[in-house]
Structure 1
Amino acid sequence: MLTSLSQASLLLSVPLLAHGRALGALAIARREGAYTMADRQYLQGVAGRLALAYDNAARFRNERHLALTLQRALLPQALPQVPGLRTASYYEASASGAEIGGDWYDVIALPDGEMGLAIGDVMGHDVDAATVMGRLRSTLRGFALDRASPGVLLGKLDAYLRSLDVDHFATCLYAVYEPRTRRLRYAASGHLPPLLAAGGTTSFLDVCPNAPLGLADEPPVGHETRLPPGAGLLLFTDGLVENSHLPLDDGLAALRRACDGLTPPVLADPQAFIDRALGLLDIPGRVDDDTALLAASAP
């Protein structure tokens, strides 16, 4: 039975100390019987463990908040829009740990009304990975504004990453879309292929196998296609399709099935494409990893 402090005859207060800081006090009250030295020592031990647990939880919460704030600050704050192409994005951090991930995306308004679309994943979950991610994103923007073709751009980005002398490699996919001709040029360095939704069906664009940035022996092969009217394009990182219960090919097939049936009226809103793809996050066995998505619709 709980006893109010006004009824208690004996009250013992033990400070909660962690790393030299007082976090509060543990108050113990009972109606009869003096506290022995053994009681006091035991309660001091309980108070010490409680203080450390609380302090660790507070530190973890603060570190994770700072990590997520930094991660999101390195991503685009807004996506540019140009006539003939609409874009939407999504980012979700890993649910475990306070570390910063290396997943990223970008949309770059290029001269002559073209649009550059990029997505990548720096291997690792630490501040170094996030730093490399930020440097790769800014460097890719510079190469893109110099009008480098996707394959050439990724070759330059590979050389840049090697020059940093860091123990990280990265996957990346870069595409350039020209709304006037509906031409899409793209290349990938170790990254998963984009998903194309058109006419109610889905398919992955062809991507020649190539090593990630930092490990490639030669620039990746460039590809070219034309997007049908009303088509949607989805770029994503592997956190969307990785599943501990399924091979990667099965995860990719599940993404196709999840997005089948999307019609041009729905695809006119790229956010609808993302919302449909996010259904994969509810499949049991999903690997807990950062996830980035970038969707584009071509009316």
Structure 2
Amino acid sequence: MTQPVTQIFKDPQALRAAIRSNQFNANTSGQAPGFVQCNLAILPKDWAMEFLQFCQKNPKPCPLVAVSDTPGNPMMDSAGQDIDIRTDLPRYRIWRKGELVEEVADISQHWRDDLVTFLIGCSFSFEEALVADGLEIRNISENKNVPMYNTNIACAPAGRFHGNMVVSMRPFVPADAIRMIQICSRFPSVHGAPVHFGEPSAIGIRLINQPDYGDAVTFKLGEVPVFTACGVTPQAAIMQAKPDFCITHSPGCMLVTDIPNAKLAIL
């Protein structure tokens, strides 16, 4: 279980230092505003090319931000200064043959020389633009992890990887939902425009107040759910493909990079 957020870090390097020293173990939504946050997938080299192809075929739920330069290298210099992928996320998930076997705060003891790291864009990055436009992000205002749901929206398969899209959800009144769509369209590298809004059952979601991942949030009078492609989608694909070993982030616990959000925006 992650701890509730007790401090907002403005600097991503300070946040990563706090995570590395076990001073911070919470969801990263709202942290280090202005900087790109990333979902994580780490796979053995013999699975990496197929996963890369899966991301390339499904850029909306799996927008690649960075890939490790060589197998076994845990440092992600392309994403920021002194980023050690083994220690710099609040929580990780360890998977074996498609089954979640453990959640840990440090993966150093699980590290191997054949592992390839993939950083995938996260919707937390566009939340800053929404807040700047005056929109309330309910998971931030209620200090919760964003609600996420499995859907019936099929991803394009690639080799052994296949499955349906996972989405995150934020409630808005219709006028704000339209504004949210306009803003998010400027950020294709972090999921871009929503994939659906309105009736949840149209995309296979039965109970909006019971998310598959994250926390339920409050709906106010007149609000509709707005669904955005989510970087937990690779975890769903991994569960289907069942590699012998894999590491992902725990939902809501991202790698916060030194890359400015503005670099990913289309103006």
**Normalized against structure 1, the TM-score is what?**
0.23
More helix by share: 1
Rg larger for: 1
Of structures 1 and 2, the one scoring higher in RCO (CA 8 A, sep 6+) is 2
**Normalized against structure 2, the TM-score is what?**
0.25
